[in-house]
Amino acid sequence: MCCVVPSLAIVYTVGDSSGWGLGVDYTTWASGTTLNVGDSLVFNYPSGHTVDEVSSSDYASCTTGNSITSDSSGTTTIPLKTAGTHYFICGVMGHCGGGMKLAVTVAAAGGSGGGSTTPSPDTTTPTTGTTTPTSGTTTPTTAHPSASLSQDRGSATL
């Protein structure tokens, strides 16, 4: 298990140039963004908004009372430390319902590159000794190929 955070951590600006605000489709933004553990989200917004990380149920219902974290500094950086889906909403009443809600799926940081561990094929040929087993008992093969044929000529009932 390697614990080194890859140096290519990326900081994503939520909503890109639109920032964090009303009237932005964050579902579309998130769908085009691939996040990995170690990356960060940056929310840029004017005063009058907050960034609250919430549970999935609070995200669905736009409930702000149980926020995991909340910030209203105007520039909120969220380091994504754990894989899974993270949910963010604006804590201002009506804003979450107005579209200020973001769900992002964070993928676990992959291991050290592709797993192309090709096992070397085992080419150990078994030594075939020429010791033929002594076949003494000759099995009498008296099985007729077709039973219907023997029935035709065999049974001569008088």
Which spans of this chain sit near Cu ion (rule: CB under 5 A)? 49, 90, 92, 95, 100
Smallest gap from residue 99 Cβ to Cu ion (A): 9
Beta strands in the chain (DSSP E): 11-13, 35-36, 40-44, 51-54, 69-71, 75-79, 84-89, 101-107
Nearer to Cu ion, 37 or 104 (CB): 104
Nearer CB in complex with Cu ion: 38/49: 49
- Is the CB of 38 or the CB of 91 nearer to Cu ion? 91
Q: Which is nearer to Cu ion, 83 or 92 (CB)?
A: 92
Whole-angstrom Cα distance, residue 136 to residue 26? Answer: 83
Q: Minimum distance between the CB of residue 23 and Cu ion, rounded to whole angstroms?
A: 11
Which one-letter DSSP state was computed for residue 56? H
**What residue type is 36 in one-letter code?**
N
* Least distance from Cu ion to the Cβ atom of residue 21, Å: 7
Q: How far is the CB of 45 from Cu ion (least distance, A)?
A: 7
SS (H, E, C) 120-155: CCCCCCCCCCCCCCCCCCCCCCCCCCCHHHHHHHHC
